[in-house]
Amino acid sequence: MNLVPEHLIIAPVLIPFIAGVVLLFFEDRARSVKAVVSICATVALLAVSVVLLRMAHTEEDSGRIAVYLLGNWPPPFAINLVLDRLSAMMLVLTALLALPSLVFSLARWHKAGVHFHTLFLLLLMGLNGAFLTGDLFNLFVFFEIMLAASYGLVLHGSGLLRVKAGLHYIAINLVASLLFLIGVALIYGVTGTLNMADLALRILQISEANRIMLESGAAILGVAFLIKAGMWPLNFWLPATYAAAPAPSAAIFAIMSKVGIYVLLRLSLLFFGNTPDFPENMGSEILFYGGLATIGFGTAGVLASQTLGRFAGFSVLISSGTLLASLGLVHNGVTAGALFYLASSTLAISALFMLIELVERGQNMASNVLAVTMEAFGDYDEGMADEEIVGVAIPRTIAVLGTCFAACAILLAGLPPLSGFIAKFVILNALFNPDESGQAHLIPATSWWLLALLILSGLATLIAMSRSGIRTFWAPPIDTALPRVLLIEIVPVAALLCMTLVLTIQAGPVMQFMETTANSLHQPQPYIGSVLETPVTKSLPRLEENAE
């Protein structure tokens, strides 16, 4: 038996867990040792994730679906981890965000409080476990591990605004956890199982008398995930929390809101994808119109934001709203475009959170407020301001930061030629193209609403970032100091932006992967069969047989 591929599935959970626990035995003054261990664990995590992605992506339509049975119990009783294309993609994306965020923190943030590295690694453990788990109870367990670690990372470095936003964040997520537990209990009470693949089969056999309780449990469970995904009106906590969090924490938090999106996509198509009344049962209309409302709310917030931190928080809402609206359409092509958009927007937002700290480092907030006031009332001498900066060369630091800022603006606004434009184009192309038969069809009004909001949100993002860019790089206040940026801080930002460039250059192969992933999600039978038909590993011969 080849043990490497089989046991490699649990490595994304064990690597950060073991490393995080080991770091607890070191004093906080041993920051160099902790940094080395964390970096090594994250690099190993990235390597393992890439190997798992290669394992899952095969020439078969459904890809390779590998199942790991903890304790060697037979399904559906075993605690299982399931690897397919979607979970492997999320593992790689998490690792790609984790390594730059961790490197960025080594400049100063890991010294701002205790146990930063342990909390960061436990957060990775919770994320990876949520993407790999095959049953609802362990999804709850990994969900709580992820949230518990995020509480510490939000409060890391203290400060009044951070503590205030962190306490709101903790309270809201405790309510979401309670709803999660209630929903899981109702579903178990009706079906008698929490294994996702087994649930997909038992849901079809639920009697009409028990169906109301099942749908109630699914609805409560859905609300818990929608809180995490940031759907309006459950998202008022998100902009303030993400803006107040330390830059490396906010950078990795960019994928935390996608956990709710991932679970909604996975469970909706797995549980109700085979039923004829799927859109009504899963509330796809709620997802779609809630996604549209989230895009609209995020667009208004982006235009109203006077600080880059809140702008980035509202950009997360626009990203989540676009994904929720796309999932609500229940369309293979739209789902493929949404997966591409998920990867592109997450990388761009993560880079933006780290870039914001570098940009605002040399700014005087009082001068910024005064500049906005003078601009609004026209009480300043434009000629004098222009004379004072004539002939002054742009420092290299400002030039590099400005280039990265412009790249983030293009990505988030969805302008060509970068990956943000490609993702939105794929979504809209799937909406407005004829069906597979090639015959003309009537385009529903919902498609036009999504088109209009995607264009308006992109325009609002471009206006807001142009406004901030002009104030920061083009006409900064006179007393603004040149920010001191270390190489270890700007390289992670550039690395994330280069990843989006790779998505742009390799858009063809990446989209083929996204299309096969979307097709396998909309046809869950291979996933169900692989989980329930996984044989237990043959154990060692029994003692009595050896005696004979």
Q: What is the DSSP string of 225-286?
A: HHHHHT-TTS-TTHHHHHHHS-HHHHHHHTTTHHHHHHHHHHHHHHHHTTSTTHHHHTTHHH
- Has residue 156 been placed in a domain? no
What does the alpha-carbon distance between residue 304 and residue 408 come to, in Å, rounded to a whole number? 19
- Reported pTM: 0.86
Residue 529 contacts by C-beta under 8 Å, 6 or more apart in sequence? none
Before 535, cis peptide (omega within 30)?
A: no
Q: What is the pLDDT of residue 495?
A: 93
What pLDDT was estimated at residue 64? 83
Please report the pLDDT score of residue 389 as a whole number: 45
Total domains present in the chain: 1
| Six-digit token string for 495 | 């690395």
The CA distance from 40 to 369, in Å, is: 43
* Residue 344 included in any domain: yes
Q: Which residues of the chain have pLDDT under 50?
A: 1-4, 276-281, 366-392, 436-440, 478, 540-548
Residue 474 lies inside a defined structural domain of this protein: yes
Residue 284 lies in a domain: no
What are the structure tokens assigned to 88, written together?
A: 């492997």
pLDDT at position 386 is 46
* 125 domain-assigned: no
Query: In whole angstroms, what is the distance from residue 514 CA to residue 475 CA?
Result: 42
381 part of a folded domain: no
- SS3 call for 79: strand
Q: Are 173 and 147 in contact (CB under 8 A)?
A: yes
Q: Does residue 320 lie within any of the structural domains?
A: yes
Question: CB within 8 A of 183, min separation 6: which ones?
Answer: 217, 218, 219, 220, 221, 222, 223, 224
Domain housing 416: 291-376+393-435+443-522
Inside any domain, residue 249: no
Find all residues with CB under 8 Å of 94, minimum gap 6, and list them: 49, 124, 127, 128, 131, 255
* Predicted pLDDT at 502: 93
Cβ burial 402-432 (10 Å sphere, 16+ → b, else e): bebbebbbbbbbbeeebbbbbbbebbbebbe
Structure tokens at 367: 């001068």
**What pLDDT does 377 receive?**
44
Radius of gyration over alpha carbons of the chain, in Å? 24
Report the distance separating Cα 531 and Cα 225, nearest Å.
24
Given 3-state DSSP classes, what are the helix, strand and coil percentages for the chain, each rounded to the nearest 5?
75, 0, 25
Contact in structure between 231 and 196 (CB atoms under 8 Å): no
